Structure 1
Amino acid sequence: MSHDALVALKNPGFRRIALTSLLVTLALLMQDVVLGYELYNRTRDPLVLGWMGLAEALPYMALSLIGGHWADRYNKRTLWLTGHGLMIVSAVWLWLVFEDVPVTFTLQEKIWWVYGVNFMNGLTRAITGPALHSWIPLLIPPTQYGNSSAWTSASWQTGAILGPVIGGFVYALAGLSWALGIILVLLVMGGVLIGLNAAPYAQSTVRERPSVSESLREGIQFVWQNPTILYSITLDMVAVLFGGVVAILPVFATEVLMIGADGLGILRSAAALGAILTTILLTFFSPMSQPWRNLLWAVFAFGIATLVFALSEHFFLSCLALFLTGAFDSVSVVIRETLMQTLTPPEMRGRVSAVNGIFIKASNELGAFESGLAAKLMGAVPSVVMGATVALITVAVIAKKSRRLLRHSGALAT
């Protein structure tokens, strides 16, 4: 039987959402790069960069569950457009601040406004993320969930790769003002695309509406009592929290591999390249025939590739290992997203997506902190060896606890 790799993209509603994901990711990654470079270049204070990330992460993690509750109760299109509209307003204000309009701002005032805009972006993404992720399964049949997850991941990975490159290129050639202007245009284009989508149909399966606290508790309990979703989120969180190496790549570049900034750039892009090529490949070859088995093997292989990177003293082997970490991570992401869409009742998808988002955001931010702290205390190589070992042990423990899921792995995809 032939497999149509473009089947989800033939749905105009999903196609607009995937393209919007690409545009918004491009815009936000461009913004992170150009503002980070601008502020660090003016202050030479790395703590400014840390506060930029924290300003966005904290409100996102604090309010994602509320965003999930709203996504399950209210119109998802309206929620997304409202949140995205606030993001556009923030981008306009940011451009005005760096243009010194309507008044001249001091450097410290500009830094605080950047923190404020990042804080607002964290708030808006806590609203738009669950709304968009719970909207996708309403547009396509369950048989296309795997394909849609692959394309959603591919659109995000493409934005994550091209955003910093385009941002740096525009900043170098035309300056900060043009870069912020292009970011604003990309955000507006994303808003227009979602505005063209019809509002999702109302959920007739929703019972008598619970209170906010009951609604949030229901979402958390559903994840906690569903071993497939809980274990898949846990696997991803542990792998990123302990096995991630992106934050300390400069240490490996200078102290282990003895390469310069250009080599560091290649290292940074290797994992992203592996991720995007694999997600595109997964649109042709679905991993959902034996999803739980494939998920365990993917995270196990991620740990092995991380271990190889830690022990490598050769640039090519290090690049290959990072390429494979991106590839195997993409397999686990596609499987996890597909399982969540398949196993979660429609009326709870917003809250479950929010719980997943909190885990992922926390693991990314805390993982960077853990990597830096462990490298400072133990050294870069021992810290990554330890992290990869923790990830491998976690796979072994969850594999043992989920033997029933392994025996019925094929049934999870149906």
Structure 2
Amino acid sequence: MHNDSDDSSDAADYPVHDAYAAIRIPSYRRYWTGNVLSILGRQMQTVTVVWEVYSRTGNTFDVGLVGLVQVIPVLSLALVGGHVADRVNRKLVVAAAMVLSIVSSLGLAAVSFYQWHIAGTYASLALLGVSRAFLQPAKNSLVPQLVPRSIFSNAVTWNLGGFQLASVAGPALGGWALAAFGHAWGVYLVNVAAAAVFLLLLLGVKPRSKKTDVAAAPTLRSLGEGVSFVWNHPIILGAISLDMFAVLLGGAKALLPVFATEILGVGPAWYGWLYAAEALGALSMSLALMHRPPIAKAGRSLLLSVAAYGVAIFVFGISRSFMLSFVALFCTGAFDCISVVIRHTLVQMLTPDRMRGRVSAISGMFVSTSNEMGEFESGTLARLTSPVFAVVFGGIGTLVVVLFVALRNPRLRRYGRLDGRDSPHDDAPPAPSAPDSASPETTPAESTR
């Protein structure tokens, strides 16, 4: 009989090229299943909230507030959420954040069922934003405690594949459920059920490391430690910055309606395919990466994938063919998937366990900010010039950023395998002020960081 204590078995128990290495670990398999279900439910809820707010108010500004009321608490509490993830049992933090998410969805269902004022919807979404601020750092820093170091990149790929699968299926299922139920509150209750299943599966998740520090109130020093670590670590800073500026400059998604109607001359149905192309590309690439061994030259691959992303954005900008535009957007998703897997793996593997929550929170802030600001940048530049110029400028700008990072960050450029087996010794970051030597998952290479 298999025992969950096998989760701590050595990485050698799993073949290097095993595409299902992470999923074979019971704790990670439970986590992954519950996480995908919760993301699927949240995607269904997201598309339903937007529909309900617009149907009740008929105001696009009110629809815009749906995202704003969630982003504000996420950005405001991100560092605090990271601090908590580093001071409290991460499994408990994930569970508590999911309970808060359930309360938020129940609030949405109540407002919808009783037709209370729309302010109740925004209050519930703000509560969801608070949940996300604590949930993401805790989830990101929990996964390294569930799998051996050598197959962590495989776990990251499975995570990304699950996310993309839920992102593609969630909105479609949300629309179908909304039509089937005839009201929004039924979809919100589906999300409650999905989150509840995740909570139940979490009961069987047993981290390989149960070490946690004594809970302490966040201070400026503790919050600043994460910022200082990222700033003084050229590989992590380079990887995060590269991703942030690529998304900031290459954010063409906000302009898809303009390209579909005015440039490509297609209707809503084909617009939907354009909108889904990026997610389909990311899902396809994640499936391909699952069946490959850890990337051998991660630093170079990261730079090349972001450069290819920029080229794909450029091609989309100059395209006048629907098929070419679809392929270009498909490629942006595929190349972005490679960069996300490498970035997330590097950030988690090169960060001491005691700081993973705070560093994950900072990385999340970079991503959230670049996504929101990228759409704003594209829309503003398109208004001042033209949509084509805005997208082409973004593609060229991404290539310039890649060239700058490649020349200024040789450590990132030289970084080797994602499992860390042959990375140059000088790629190690500065040693933290309080080494995490007590953590059972800390490797000899990590103990110097």
TM-score normalised by structure 1 residue count: 0.94
Counterpart code for 1:54: L
Residue in structure 2 matching 1:241, options 248, 265, 279 = 248
Richer in helix (by share): 1
Residue in structure 1 matching 2:57, options 20, 24, 43 = 43
Counterpart code for 2:310: G
Residue in structure 2 matching 1:349, options 345, 356, 377 = 356
* CA shift in 2, pair 1:368/1:343, >3 Å: same
CA contact 1:27–1:163 (8 Å) conserved in 2: yes
Instruction: Render the CA deviation track for 1:134-169: whole Å, top value 9, x for unaligned.
Output: 111111111011101100111111111111111011
Match of 1:298 in 2: 305
Counterpart code for 1:185: A
Instruction: Render the CA deviation track for 1:196-228: whole Å, top value 9, x for unaligned.
Output: 323664337x69979622111111111111111
Match of 2:164 in 1: 157
* CA shift in 2, pair 1:411/1:244, >3 Å: closer
The yes-or-no answer on 1:369 pairing with 2:376 is: yes
Gapped runs of 5+ residues in structure 2?
Answer: 1-14, 422-449
CA contact 1:339–1:413 (8 Å) conserved in 2: no
Distance 2:369 2:281 in 1: 23
Q: Which moved more, 1:84-93 or 1:14-23?
A: 14-23
The yes-or-no answer on 1:52 pairing with 2:72 is: no
Match of 1:380 in 2: 387
Distance 2:349 2:26 in 1: 21
* CA shift in 2, pair 1:408/1:369, >3 Å: closer
Q: Secondary structure at the match of 2:23?
A: helix
Match of 1:96 in 2: 110
Residue in structure 2 matching 1:192, options 200, 224, 227 = 200
Instruction: Render the CA deviation track for 1:234-280: whole Å, top value 9, x for unaligned.
Output: 11111111101111110100111000000110001111000011011
Structure 1 residue 411 displacement after superposition: 8.3
Match of 1:177 in 2: 185
Q: Which moved more, 1:194-203 or 1:251-260?
A: 194-203
Q: Secondary structure at the match of 2:320?
A: coil
CA contact 1:76–1:200 (8 Å) conserved in 2: no
* CA shift in 2, pair 1:91/1:207, >3 Å: closer
CA contact 2:235–2:412 (8 Å) conserved in 1: yes
CA contact 1:311–1:381 (8 Å) conserved in 2: yes
The yes-or-no answer on 1:328 pairing with 2:335 is: yes
Distance 1:371 1:290 in 2: 32
* CA shift in 2, pair 1:257/1:228, >3 Å: same
Q: Secondary structure at the match of 1:321?
A: helix
Q: Which moved more, 1:390-399 or 1:8-17?
A: 8-17
Match of 1:71 in 2: 85
Q: Secondary structure at the match of 2:210?
A: coil
Distance 2:334 2:23 in 1: 22
Structure 1 residue 324 displacement after superposition: 0.1
**Number of aligned positions between the proteins:** 406
Instruction: Render the CA deviation track for 1:174-210: whole Å, top value 9, x for unaligned.
Output: 2223322222211211222123323664337x69979
CA contact 1:288–1:413 (8 Å) conserved in 2: no
Q: Secondary structure at the match of 1:202?
A: coil
Q: Secondary structure at the match of 2:291?
A: coil
Q: Which moved more, 1:287-296 or 1:1-10?
A: 1-10
Structure 1 residue 405 displacement after superposition: 3.4
Counterpart code for 1:87: S
Residue in structure 2 matching 1:135, options 129, 142, 158 = 142
Match of 2:403 in 1: 396
Structure 1 residue 44 displacement after superposition: 2.4
Runs (4+) of structure 1 moved beyond 4 Å? 206-211
Distance 1:213 1:361 in 2: 22
* CA shift in 2, pair 1:207/1:399, >3 Å: farther
Q: Secondary structure at the match of 1:10?
A: coil
Residue in structure 2 matching 1:115, options 108, 111, 122 = 122
TM-score normalised by structure 2 residue count: 0.87
CA-atom RMSD in angstroms:
1.9
Distance 2:143 2:180 in 1: 38
* CA shift in 2, pair 1:211/1:248, >3 Å: closer
* CA shift in 2, pair 1:208/1:180, >3 Å: closer
CA contact 2:303–2:413 (8 Å) conserved in 1: no
Distance 1:218 1:112 in 2: 37
